[in-house]
Amino acid sequence: MAENPLHRLMNPGSIATVGAGNNILKMGTMHALSIINDGYRGKIFPVHPHQNTVLGLDAYRSIADIPEVPDLAFIVVPSVEVIKIIEEFGKKGTKSAVIITAGFGEMNEDGRLMQDRLNELSGQYGIRFLGPNCMGIINSQISLNTTVMPYTSAPGSLGFASQSGTYVTQTIPYLERNGIRFSKAISVGNSANIDIIDALEYLGEDEQTRAVSLYIEGIRDVERFIDVARAITPHKPVLAQYVGGSSAGARSSLSHTGSMAAPDHLYDGLFRQAGIIRVESIEDLYRNGNMLANQPCLNGKRIGILTNSGGPGSAIANALERGGLDVPEFSKEVQDQVRPLVPPHAPCGNPVDMTFSMDIENLSNKIPEIILKSGEVDGIVIHGVMGTGWLKAVFPHFNSVMKDVTLEGLLAGFSDKSGSAADYIPVYNKPVSISSFIDREDNYTASYHDHGVPVFDSPEKAAGGMIMMMRHREIRERKPWTRPASVPAPAGAVRILEQCSAKGQANLDEHGSKLFLKEWGIPVTEEIVAATEEEAATAAEKAGYPLVMKASAGDILHKTGRGLIHLDLKSKDEAVASFRKIQQAAGRSVPVIAYRMVSGEREFVAGLVRAPGFVPSVMFGLGGVFTEALNDAVFRPAPISEDDATEMLFDIRARALLGAFRGMPAVHVEALAKVLHRLSLIPIAHPEVAEIDLNPIIIDGSEPVAVDALVVLK
């Protein structure tokens, strides 16, 4: 496999800048200032047609004048100049570039043509590039920052890749205030050459990176995205925010980076299939990514809670339990150890509530150690550890009484033990999440930040960080994954589609749809087609009672409520009468299908859907009349394995119906999973199939049977 181009691009020994000058208000200069001032130790070669020095460095009039081949070209010039510059770097021998300039594929047809030309030059000279329309990179390991904002934090362990440049540059002050440190950060912009999948693959391979966060506006190669992610996520957590799921978000993404978006529910399925944890905000992407990057793995569901106030403790307990974690009551032995360290009236069964005791060492060190050492929890959430920040907040009231005491004097007399507040974490190797309403101005918050312990600004968010740890644990425990192999289309299925196409039909009728699905091994009703009253009577006697009769014609897509379906027929006379009513309701002579009615109270829906710019996807959910009303459905990009399909079944809210329920036996889950797996293979073998709808799939005893089906062609 070819080496990911980002290994070379992210680690240059030398950088040539084109577009940097001595005017600090110019974008190119701002980028160059970051490269020069933030600690990068490699060579820097400014290229400027008129100035002899740029920011104190010798400048070169042309790319050809640079005395050696630069490892990385950094380009911030008008878009009409970029192609010429890339070609000159290609001739020079440079193999990596970052193109900050906008005005390419995100703009118009001319921009797309220029972007295509850049890729032609990439192939011609072997030069791989980020952008255009990006904000550059950060590699904290070598103190390289090419964005417009200073980045001077110590090396971190959170890898970040974004289709928005803002999130690797404008947010740097926010990240510093919250103790969040990048290992590497990559702005991919238009992803014309190196894309977000390349970035994910690189961060997955990077030893410094312990977790990955992705800001996504659209994925072009869904199949490769899944393959890359599934290789990473069992070992390294990956989070993603997707913003193209609404019509407004999709429109904005297209104009922003030229990304093709798809409906939100399809990306839900994509991330679930890929083993990626989806979050809803950029704050979640940073803060929860920071939690996953810095804390030991969660190896169970039992969480301890320690707080200096009852309200936050209750909020944490509620959020943890709603998120699927357990808050077990501590044993008498643990409570007996905790009791001397809390006020006499304080509860210590879990949560341990110190009721605003000001003994911070007990809250920050002694009690957490007791809880973690007990073996009764797998992680702990702590609220209310604070020192100097609290003193600063209350000083005006203290000063009104102790007028001769200054804030500096008060802080100087404070016994600061914050430096040891996180010492127990590596000892017990269990994750810790902190909640505090005071930021880095507090010595404890700052110490937690400096030791890689995440501090959230609300109790619920701190609980959410622990829930994210559990989500990754679930992903780690998934069965090993291989992409399902494609299979040849059954000859009978090919013949059915050819006959439909020859008739000029846009879709198969219900009977043809079921015959097609049966060829693929999907269980359907056994039917008899009748075109006359006599045939209907014969079909009824042969199929048996209770009987179902339906119209079956290629142009009849929906029958419910139109008098085209008759259920629970109990005699030949009823069957003949129903045949007549169906003809009347249709307004013409139509074939009718007859089959023995399938008994079962549980109904599901499955199908195949397509959306522009996205791969075919399999759908499963609660079926029958509740499909649209309750909207309880999940999706996965095709193809899926039977293991994927089994996971999918239990992702719906009505999953309880899959087990033994009100006297009904448990559903044969393996058989139902096979239905979804086989459905997922169909669009690979039959690209002309646009849509499939099985609604309902009735559970007959424990076995699934599709009693209604529609196959739509492109």
DSSP per-residue string spanning 676-697: HHHHHHHHHH-TTEEEEEEEEE
pLDDT tens digits, one per residue of 541-594: 999 999 999 999 888 877 777 889 999 999 999 999 999 999 999 989 999 999
Rounded average pLDDT over 277-284: 96
pLDDT tens digits, one per residue of 200-251: 999 999 999 999 999 999 999 999 999 999 999 999 999 999 987 655 544 4
Model confidence band, residue 252 (pLDDT cutoffs 50, 70, 90): very low
Helices (H), 73-143: 79-92, 109-125
Helices (H), 295-380: 310-322, 332-338, 360-361, 367-373
**Domains identified in the chain and CATH numbers:** 6-293 (3.40.50.261), 295-476 (3.40.50.261), 526-597 (3.30.1490.20), 603-713 (3.30.470.20)
Q: Which residue has the tokens 């839900």?
A: 268
pLDDT at 253 over 50: no
pLDDT-above-90 percentage for the chain: 82
Q: What pLDDT is attached to residue 557?
A: 76
pLDDT tens digits, one per residue of 38-75: 999 999 999 999 999 999 999 999 999 999 999 999 99
Alpha carbon 371 to its chain's center: 33
Alpha carbon 345 to its chain's center: 45
Per-residue burial over 462-498, b if 16 or more Cβ lie within 10 Å, else e, is: bbbbbbbbbbbbebbeeeebeebeeeebeeebeebbe
What is the pairing mode between strands 432-435 and 455-456?
parallel
pLDDT tens digits, one per residue of 558-569: 777 788 999 999
CA angle (144 as vertex; 27, 142 as ends), nearest 5 = 175
Check: pTM over 0.85? Answer yes or no: yes
Give burial (CB, 10 Å; 0-12/13-18/19+) of 242.
buried
Q: Which residue has the tokens 């809210």?
A: 653
Q: Which of 129, 133, 193, 183 is nearest to 161 (CA)?
A: 183
595: its two tokens: 């089959």
pLDDT at 367 over 90: yes
Q: What pLDDT is attached to residue 627?
A: 75
701: its two tokens: 């005893």
pLDDT tens digits, one per residue of 418-449: 888 889 999 999 999 999 999 999 999 999 99
Q: What pLDDT is attached to residue 1?
A: 56
pLDDT tens digits, one per residue of 502-512: 888 889 999 99
Give the DSSP letter of residue 330: P
Mean pLDDT score of the chain, rounded to an integer?
A: 93
Let me know: does 223 contact 167? Beta carbons within 8 Å.
Answer: no
In angstroms, the CA 49 to CA 71 distance is 21
CA distances from 50 to 20, 59, 60, 75, 276 (A): 12, 9, 9, 17, 49
- Spatial neighbors of 661 by CB under 8 A, at least 6 apart, are 602
Let me know: does 555 contact 577? Beta carbons within 8 Å.
Answer: no
Q: Which residue has the tokens 């079921």?
A: 514
Q: What pLDDT is attached to residue 658?
A: 95
Q: What pLDDT is attached to residue 411?
A: 84
Per-residue burial over 114-131, b if 16 or more Cβ lie within 10 Å, else e, is: bbeebeebbeebebbbbb
607 vs 623, more confident: 607
Rounded average pLDDT over 97-115: 88
Q: What pLDDT is attached to residue 106?
A: 80
Q: What pLDDT is attached to residue 249?
A: 46
Model confidence band, residue 684 (pLDDT cutoffs 50, 70, 90): very high
Give the DSSP letter of residue 523: -
Greatest Cα-to-Cα distance within the chain, rounded to the nearest angstrom: 108
Write out the H or E segment, with its range, that includes residue 127.
none
Torsion of CA 33, 36, 38, 42, to 10 degrees: 150
pLDDT at 259 over 60: no
Write out the H or E segment, with its range, that includes residue 326.
none
Q: Which of 178, 206, 180, 248 is nearest to 3 (CA)?
A: 206
Q: What pLDDT is attached to residue 245?
A: 62
Amino acid, res. 630: L
Q: What pLDDT is attached to residue 351?
A: 97
60: its two tokens: 């070169």
pLDDT tens digits, one per residue of 463-493: 999 999 999 999 999 999 889 988 999 999 9
In angstroms, the CA 62 to CA 64 distance is 5
Q: What pLDDT is attached to residue 246?
A: 56
Among 234-238, 394-398, 636-640, which is the least confidently predicted range? 394-398
Model confidence band, residue 103 (pLDDT cutoffs 50, 70, 90): confident
Let me know: does 368 contact 382? Beta carbons within 8 Å.
Answer: yes
pLDDT tens digits, one per residue of 397-423: 888 888 888 888 888 878 788 888 889
Neighbours of 461 (CB within 10 A): 20
175 vs 398, more confident: 175
